[in-house]
Amino acid sequence: MSDKMKKEARVLGQRLLTDGIYDLWLETPIAMDAQPGQFVGVYPAGKATLLPRPISICEVDREKSAIRLVYRVVGTGTAEFALYQEDDYMMILGPLGNGFPLSAVAGKRAVVMGGGIGIPPLLETAKRLSLLQDKDRPLEISAVLGYRDSDTFLADEFKESAGVYVSSEDGSVGTMGNVIDALSEQKVPCDVIFACGPMPMLRGIKKYAMESGIKAYLSLEERMACGVGACLGCVCRTSRVDEHSHVKNARICTDGPVFDADDLDM
C-alpha cells in the first residue's frame, strides 16, 4: 500500500517562518486529493532515518498542484528537511488519514482552534469553510489560536477567512492563558469546533465542548512509524471496538487523525 502511495515531490520554495519553524511548498499530484486535516509522510534521504515523518498539510493550491507544509525542526529527519531548496526533490507518502468533516458546519458557527504546531492544518480548514458560505447560508467562522508568546506565526493569514482571536501563555498578546481562556473571555460564537494541538489542550476542548453542548472534532498529534495502519504504533483509546485490533483502540494514522471528540477516551 505504502509503495503505491509514495510520490516524488519537487520543492517550489522554502523559508524560515519563525524560530525553528519552516514553511515548505511542494509540487505534487497529492494536491488534487488533499483534504483539510490530512497529512503526508515525508521521507528523509539519510539511510539512518528510514521512516517517514508525519507532517500536516497547511495549505493546498490545486492550480499549481502544490501543498504547503509548515513544520518544526525536532530531530535529525526534520533538520534534514530544512536544508532542502528550490528544485530539490523529496519522497512523500500521502495524502494520509481522514480530514475534518466540514459538512458538520451547515448553518452553524464554526471555530477552528489550534495550539503551537497544531495551528498549520487549520489554515486550509478555515479557507475551505469560507468557501461554503453563500448569501442564503451565512457562516460565521472564527479562529482561536494559542501561542507561547507574541510570536503569532500564521495568525495574519487566518484573517482572510475568519475572525481571529489569540491567546498567549505569557500574556504578551491576546488573552493570557490558553485557547479555551480566549474562547470564553472574548465570547467567541461557537456551535462546532475543529481543533488540533497538544493532548492537554485537546482534553480541555473535549471537556469544554461536552459541558457547553458543542460538537467538537479533534485532530490528534502522535509519533508514527508506518503511517498506513499496519504497525499499530499510534493507537488511541476510543469508545468503539476497532475492527482491526478488536479492542477499543483506533489507529491515528488511518482512523484519524481527526476524531469526533465523543468517540475518544482521553
Environment class of 242 (CB within 10 Å of its CB; exposed 0-12, middle 13-18, buried 19+):
middle
Spatial separation of the C-alpha atoms in residues 1 and 49, rounded to whole Å: 20
- Residue 128: CB atoms within 10 A of its CB come to 17
Q: Reduced to 3 states, what is the DSSP secondary structure of residue 12?
A: strand
The predicted structure's pLDDT at residue 52: 85
Q: Report how far apart, in Å, the C-alpha atoms of 247 and of each of 109, 235, 241, 252 are.
A: 35, 11, 5, 14
Spatial separation of the C-alpha atoms in residues 28 and 13, rounded to whole Å: 13
Phi, psi angle pair for 108, to nearest 5°: -120, 170
Identify the DSSP state of 221: P
CATH T-level topology, domain 102-263: Rossmann fold (3.40.50)
The predicted structure's pLDDT at residue 224: 47
What pTM was computed for the model?
Answer: 0.88
Q: Report how far apart, in Å, the C-alpha atoms of 56 and of each of 30, 45, 183 are.
A: 13, 19, 24
Residue of 72, 118, 139 whose CA lies nearest to 218: 118
Q: Report how far apart, in Å, the C-alpha atoms of 164 and of each of 1, 183, 194 are.
A: 40, 11, 14
| Structural domain 2-96, CATH architecture | Beta Barrel (2.40)
Q: Reduced to 3 states, what is the DSSP secondary structure of residue 181?
A: helix
In the chain, domain spans: 2-96, 102-263
Sign of the C-alpha dihedral computed for residues 236, 242, 246 and 248 taken in this order: positive
User: Which residues in the chain belong to E strands, given as ranges?
Assistant: 6-18, 21-27, 39-43, 53-56, 59-61, 66-72, 89-96, 110-115, 141-147, 163-168, 175-176, 192-197, 215-220, 235-237, 249-251, 258-260
| Mean pLDDT per 10-residue segment, the chain (266 residues) | 70 97 97 94 79 92 97 93 97 92 87 96 96 70 96 97 96 96 95 94 95 93 51 52 57 67 75
